[in-house]
Amino acid sequence: MWLLPCVTREGCCLRLPAADRAAALLLDVLLAPAQAETHAAAALSACPGLAIWCLVHAAQSPAGTAQAAFEGLQALARWLAEARYRLNWSDEGGDWHAGGADTTAEARTAFARLASRALAAAARFGEGAGEWTAEEADAGRLLSLVHVAPQWLSAAGLGPDGQWEAWLPLSVAERLTGLHTAQDRVAVHVRHCMGADLPSAGDVHACRWLGEDRTAVKLLPQVAARLRRLAELEARLAQLVEEEKLAALAEFAAGAGHEINNPLAVISGRAQLALRSEGNPERRRELALIHAQALRIHEMIADLMLFARPPLPSFATCQIAEVLQQVRQEVAATAASCGATVEMRPPGDLCIRTDGVQLGVALRAAVENALQAVPPGGHVEVAAAVVEVPADGAVSACPQEGPPGAGRWLKISISDNGPGLAPEVRRHAFDPFYSGRAAGRGLGMGLSKCWRIAQLLGGGIGIASRAGGGTRVTFWLPAEPPQA
Amino acid sequence: MKTVFTTGEAAKICKVSQQTIIRCFDSGQLKGFRVPGSRFRRIPRDQLFNFMRDNGIPTDALESGKRKVLIVDDDEELVELITDVLERDGRFEIRKANNGFDAGMLVKEYRPDLIVLDVMLPDINGREVCQRVRNDSSMDEVKIICISGMVEEEKVQELRNAGANDFLHKPFEVEKLVERICHLLDMEVAASR
């Protein structure tokens, strides 16, 4: 047996135990991301302590991470698989008790008995699996596995008078509270399975709670720490590559823009001069066209150069709801012409210190980009909320749209139900004039402008998309309160 | 050709203040007459020429009667375009330079009324040319219009701070260029074409 990292809430620290073999299964979760969910389900099924620890951990997670209702074991496995980098399986800080040396023999036996009881109930529930729908079987497996959670939490340090319900996600706590009276098929059968006799000492040994295999237990914290570091480095590398690439493009744009404007000045100037002395109406029209087209190139170049060398932001107190309102008015005509709706979900009366004008320009470009992509009758939603990113939560499950780092951020997401972007196109989503985009979406400078402004305002921007499944552009802005 | 000048016109041609011309007129250094029935001073062309020659003031502006423009840009086609535009107007005398060094030399020698100055020159930066002109008090009257393909407002402001009187983005409306030149030189705009 070994102890999982401590989970703390309101000054109370719980140490939940896990079986030795759970460590090996967790190594599989960490090392095989493609099958992480399958391995997570296996680890949870083999170790009720781990399942309860995950539920407690999920309930403690900061806002914005998993607060999902855990209806069944599969949902918990998904949470464990997704959360694997966030979990503090680190050997630093002394919260790692591979040996479980500070637990008493009585406590170890108590945990072992509880584990055996839970595993026996889960196994018995599984025997009748044929009668159940997939959802019922999944819910029953979780329920039978964690039905001992109140006793378990009390043995882990909560004490007999502790409010165990507060430590679990609401959906699970309610299910356990009502388990003895609920009349649905699953609850009735779980009650029946729970009736199993307490296992004998032999059974306790059989489920290897007191097993001798310590290799995986020792490796787990080291592997977890290294993988977390690797994930951080990968995310940082991807971000650096993107920043370097766009910085190089900006430099190119500034140089090329200047050079191109010289011949443009000659072309348009010559056309204007020729126009003065031209009497033939057809040729006058052609000369005017040359002049106008030269100016059109100039406007594109000006956009590029604005991207390359944007004006410095002017920071002031800014009410986000007002900016969103302004953007809504500005895009109303475009939305109407696309037959699409734009919904704004402002963050109350939140004020932050930023450049409201530039933020408005960026949001408008992002919304217009989304409107170009949605089908007639499509929908674009702009949602803004403040997110606290803890120091160990900075590595996102989805690095393409995660926060730029730890701290307090204003997160503004622009989601659409248009066709998504292929991964190759996504990589170039912020490149000016990238030619490989799906028709309609983001030609020209729109998203490049967004990227540039997000950088200028001290934040970042990400884009997540599935081909065929809509796209979400996420702005992260430092949510600094206005200066007093 | 103009034969008689007011003190204001003489001041512009000599690139000194009107007060200086009036002082020289009143002390007899610069000969002329007063309009009968009034106190207005008038200076005949030959008297003004003598005055300029005696005081080492370049006389070419007086010789042609045209306003002198120096065009500085390393893009020869662009220099040619602006030359064509100003020559068609007929009121300008033009010299050209393709780099900052030549521009510096010509400014002193040619003493233009106005410089059309590209900001990105192959040798020295246009802003530096502005500063050098402005550091020489004998060239206080020289007007400078900068032209550039860049768009950053901060850079444009830097140029103005360095002494540029006006700024035009490339590409530009040729009529606007003439208009701005006329405005800076107190000339009628309508005469263009």
The 10s digit of each residue's pLDDT in A17-71 is 888 778 888 888 888 888 888 988 988 888 888 899 888 888 876 544 444 567 7
Does residue B173 share a domain with residue B134?
Answer: yes
Does residue A108 share a domain with residue A43?
Answer: yes
pLDDT at A332: 93
Instruction: Provide the greatest CA pair distance for chain B.
Output: 58
Chain B residues touching A301 at Cβ < 8 A:
149
Centroid of chain to Cα A24:
27
DSSP letters, A388-436, are: EE-GGG-S-SSTTSS-SSSEEEEEEEEEE-S----HHHHHTTTSTT-TT
User: Does residue A250 lie within any of the structural domains?
Assistant: yes
Task: Give the model confidence (pLDDT) of B90-103 as tens digits.
Answer: 889 999 999 988 99
pLDDT at A247: 79
Q: Does the structure show a pLDDT above 70 at A270?
A: yes
Does residue A186 share a domain with residue A332?
Answer: no
Does residue A183 share a domain with residue A39?
Answer: yes
The domain that holds A456 is classified in CATH as 3.30.565.10
Q: Decide if B176 touches A, using CB distance below 8 A.
A: no
CA dist A136 and A181 (Å) reads 18
Does residue B8 share a domain with residue B70?
Answer: no
Most B CBs within 10 Å: which of A258, A262, A291, A358, as the mutation test of the B interface?
A262
Does residue B23 share a domain with residue B81?
Answer: no
What's the alpha-carbon Rg for chain B, to the nearest Å? Answer: 18
B/e letters for B48-76, b = 16+ CB within 10 Å, e = fewer, are bbebbeeeebbbebbeeebbbbbbbbbbe
Does residue B82 share a domain with residue B52?
Answer: no
B/e letters for B96-121, b = 16+ CB within 10 Å, e = fewer, are bbbbbebbbebbeebbbbbbbbbbbb
Chain B residues touching A269 at Cβ < 8 A:
78, 81-82, 85, 171-172, 174
User: Does residue A221 lie within any of the structural domains?
Assistant: no
CA dist B6 and B20 (Å) reads 13
pLDDT at A396: 47
Residue position matching structure tokens 């050997």: A91
The complex scores an ipTM of 0.73
Does residue B85 share a domain with residue B156?
Answer: yes
Of A308, A336, A354, at which residue does a domain stop? A308
The domain that holds B11 is classified in CATH as 1.10.1660.10
Task: Give the model confidence (pLDDT) of A170-216 as tens digits.
Answer: 888 888 888 888 888 888 888 888 875 555 555 554 445 545 567 77
| DSSP 8-state secondary structure symbol assigned to residue A483 | P
Does residue B90 share a domain with residue B70?
Answer: yes
Q: How many domains does chain A have?
A: 3
* Cβ within 8 Å, pair B174-A258: no
Q: How many domains does chain B have?
A: 2
pLDDT at A66: 45
Residue position matching structure tokens 């002494």: B163
User: Does residue B160 lie within any of the structural domains?
Assistant: yes
pLDDT at A483: 61
User: Does residue A182 lie within any of the structural domains?
Assistant: yes
Does residue B172 share a domain with residue B159?
Answer: yes
Give the pLDDT mean for A421-439: 72
Q: Are the C-beta atoms of B191 and A285 separated by less than 8 Å?
A: no
Does residue A104 share a domain with residue A75?
Answer: yes
Q: Are the C-beta atoms of A362 and A450 separated by less than 8 Å?
A: yes
Alpha-helical segments (H) within chain B: 7-14, 18-27, 45-54, 60-64, 76-89, 100-110, 126-135, 153-162, 174-184
Give the pLDDT mean for A152-159: 81
Q: Does the structure show a pLDDT above 50 at A367?
A: yes
Q: Decide if A298 touches B, using CB distance below 8 A.
A: yes
Of A290, A308, A326, at which residue does a domain stop? A308
Give the pLDDT mean for A70-82: 83
User: Does residue B120 lie within any of the structural domains?
Assistant: yes
Q: What percent of chain A has pLDDT over 70?
A: 83
Does residue A397 share a domain with residue A278?
Answer: no
CB neighbour list of residue A168: distance below 8 Å, 6 or more residues apart: A55, A56, A59, A149, A176
CA dist A426 and A429 (Å) reads 5
Does residue A466 share a domain with residue A321?
Answer: yes
Which structural domain range is residue B27 located in?
4-62
pLDDT at B168: 92
Nearest CA-CA distance, residue A222 and chain B, Å: 52
Task: Give the model confidence (pLDDT) of A388-409 as tens digits.
Answer: 876 654 444 445 567 777 788 9
Task: Give the model confidence (pLDDT) of A84-113 as tens digits.
Answer: 766 666 554 344 444 444 567 777 778 888
Crossing angle for the helix pair A48-60 and A36-46, to the nearest 10 degrees: 120
Does residue B88 share a domain with residue B46?
Answer: no
pLDDT at A65: 43
Among the partner-chain residues B88, B149, B154, the one whose CB lies closest to the CB of A262 is B149
Which structural domain range is residue A468 located in?
316-478
Does residue B146 share a domain with residue B95?
Answer: yes
Chain A residues touching B193 at Cβ < 8 A:
276
User: Does residue A223 lie within any of the structural domains?
Assistant: no
Does residue B172 share a domain with residue B102?
Answer: yes
Does residue A389 share a domain with residue A361?
Answer: yes
Q: Does the structure show a pLDDT above 60 at A224?
A: yes
Among the partner-chain residues B75, B120, B153, the one whose CB lies closest to the CB of A311 is B153
User: Does residue B191 lie within any of the structural domains?
Assistant: no
The domain that holds B97 is classified in CATH as 3.40.50.2300
Does residue B75 share a domain with residue B138?
Answer: yes
pLDDT at A68: 54
Residue A24, classed as helix, strand or coil, is helix
Q: Indicate the pLDDT class of residue B21, thresholds 50, 70 and 90.
A: very high
Of A258, A292, A308, at which residue does a domain stop? A308
Centroid of chain to Cα B192:
17
In the predicted model, what is the mean pLDDT of chain A? 80
Task: Give the model confidence (pLDDT) of A226-268 as tens digits.
Answer: 887 888 888 888 878 877 887 787 788 778 877 899 999 999 9
| DSSP 8-state secondary structure symbol assigned to residue B40 | -
Residues 146-165 of B with CB under 8 A from A: 147-154
CA dist A466 and A421 (Å) reads 6
User: Does residue B190 lie within any of the structural domains?
Assistant: no
Give the pLDDT mean for B49-64: 82
Q: For residue A202, give the H/E element and its range.
A: helix A201-206
Chain B residues touching A266 at Cβ < 8 A:
75, 77-78, 81
Burial grade of B27 (CB within 10 A; 0-12, 13-18, 19 or more): exposed
* Cβ within 8 Å, pair B150-A262: no
Q: Indicate the pLDDT class of residue A136, thresholds 50, 70 and 90.
A: confident
Q: Are the C-beta atoms of B121 and B100 separated by less than 8 Å?
A: yes
Does residue A323 share a domain with residue A298?
Answer: no
Give the pLDDT mean for A120-135: 81
Q: For residue A41, give the H/E element and its range.
A: helix A36-46
Does residue A209 share a domain with residue A346?
Answer: no
